[in-house]
Amino acid sequence: MAYIISDECMGCMACVDECPISAISEKDGKAFIDKDTCIECGACAGVCPVEAPQPEA
């Protein structure tokens, strides 16, 4: 399953640089993952200080 960004995102954008395929961008001051592009690697989750990236349920 693709990852999504929860409401816990604080907009630090640490995940943007970590994504190996540039599937994450900024939208309204928070990170946004394009789930059609996401390869489910979890790299974003590993760097997020608030654990906002989560596998889509």
Domain residue spans in the chain?
3-52
Strand spans (E) along 1-57: 3-5, 24-27, 30-33, 53-55
**What pLDDT was estimated at residue 6?**
97
- Whether residue 57 has pLDDT greater than 90: no
pTM > 0.85: yes or no: yes
Q: How many residues does the chain have?
A: 57
Query: Greatest CA span in the chain, whole angstroms?
Result: 24
54 burial class (0-12, 13-18, 19+ CB within 10 angstroms)?
Answer: middle
**What pLDDT was estimated at residue 26?**
97
Q: Which CATH class is domain 3-52?
A: alpha beta
